[in-house]
Amino acid sequence: MATSIRTTVLALMLGGALCAQAGANNRYGGVNLSGAEFGEALPGEPSVDYTWPTNAEIDYFRSRGMNIVRIQFLWERLQPAMYGDFEADYLAPLDGLVAHATAAGVRVILNPQNFARYYGDVIGSAAVPNDAFADFWSRLADRYAGNDRVVFGLMNEPNSMPTEQWVDAANAAIAAIRATGATQLILVPGNAWTGAWSWNDEWYGTPNGTAMLSIVDDGPHAFEVHQYFDADRGGEQPTCEAGTGEAQLLAMTAWLRANGVRGFLAETAGGNSAACRSAIESALSHLRTYADVWLGWAWWAAGPDWQDYPFSLEPTGNLTVDAPQMSWLLPYMPPLFADGFEGG
């Protein structure tokens, strides 16, 4: 980001009605627990095509101070037919993880890892109408409406669609969730893989910074973004560019402040290098400084099949040896396993 742009954005943040508070910390810090979305086979076989994370992993991350986990799954595996019942054998492990985590005070983000697709068709198209997406979320929200430690993450990384089309789908899902009586936090991602760095860009169509102002929800919600620090910000390379970190979050913070809304960094990571450590520490320090608008963060990723992944936070030695990046995160853990959520 050019110096003049950085100066302008910082001025907007510092001059806003909301002020950063000394000693503040984010409400949530945690990890993505991945594996149940693995494999191309549908429905696929457990322990062959995909693997659920375990209660022991939840316990490990809780012991390190994390108070939120984002659990990935596939819409098609949970609801094999639009408007149909949930698949009991796939639902049971998800129920078990939610029950175990939330009983231990850990919040669970339910995250369909579908990129705004269902069997390859885009949500909001004739093949997958918005009311099918709303039906899915109505069923899921109704199941977990009584557990206030469950967070509804609408969708992982919508992309390659008009931003307005995604907003319409998100609003349909939000309305369906609230119609069940569920009052929990909803995380609303943007288009274009919901990058924080591109929130106000136009290369993918109407910027998220414009279209997402049309999200309608009277309950608690926050805007979900992802941010990596490799050359194309895609998170596919273990390297990080020098000088990244806070710089990729400044414009997003300014947007949150200007519109009186909150954000959650649901994916961030870096390989085990000095450059990535600098980027991650810079980013998490920024989130903590502006905890009035940033709810927190979750690392990508961990899970039973992630040991060799360069971003993996999965411990080794039978869950006794921390991944190198864990030491970067420990100073930024949330202070409490607090119940309740303040505001939308």
Q: Over range 73-91, report the average pLDDT.
A: 98
Which tens digits make up the pLDDT trace of 103-113? Answer: 999 999 999 99
User: Is 157 labeled as catalytic in the residue annotation?
Assistant: yes
> Do the strands 121-122 and 117-118 form a parallel or antiparallel pair, or are they unpaired?
antiparallel
**Does residue 19 register a pLDDT over 70?**
no
- State the average pLDDT for the chain: 91
Q: State the amino acid at position 238 in one-letter form.
A: P
**Does residue 15 register a pLDDT over 50?**
no
pLDDT score at 23: 53
The residue behind tokens 């806003």 is 16
First to last CA, the chain: 29
pTM as predicted: 0.92
Question: Which of 43-57, 62-76, 273-287, 303-317 has the lowest average pLDDT?
Answer: 303-317
pLDDT score at 339: 52
Which tens digits make up the pLDDT trace of 271-324? Answer: 999 999 999 999 999 999 999 999 999 999 999 988 789 999 999 999 999 999
Which tens digits make up the pLDDT trace of 159-168? Answer: 999 999 999 9
Which tens digits make up the pLDDT trace of 102-158? Answer: 999 999 999 999 999 999 999 999 999 999 999 999 999 999 999 999 999 999 999
pLDDT score at 336: 60
Q: In CATH terms, is domain 28-332 a member of 3.30.460.10?
A: no
Question: Which residues on adjacent β-strands are paired with residue 316?
Answer: 321
pLDDT score at 255: 98
**Does residue 341 register a pLDDT over 70?**
no
Q: Over range 61-78, report the average pLDDT.
A: 98
**Does residue 218 register a pLDDT over 70?**
yes
User: Is 267 labeled as catalytic in the residue annotation?
Assistant: yes
The residue behind tokens 């909803």 is 186
Q: Report how far residue 29's alpha carbon sits from residue 335's, in angstroms, rounded to the nearest whole number.
A: 9
Residues 277, 239 contacting (CB under 8 angstroms)? no
Q: Which of 57, 224, 246, 267 is catalytic?
A: 267
Split at pLDDT 50, 70, 90, the class of 230 is confident
Q: Which of 37, 57, 76, 157 is catalytic?
A: 157
> Do the strands 294-302 and 28-33 form a parallel or antiparallel pair, or are they unpaired?
parallel
**Does residue 335 register a pLDDT over 60?**
yes
pLDDT score at 22: 45
Comparing CA positions, the residue from 267, 277, 262, 303 lying closest to residue 60 is: 303
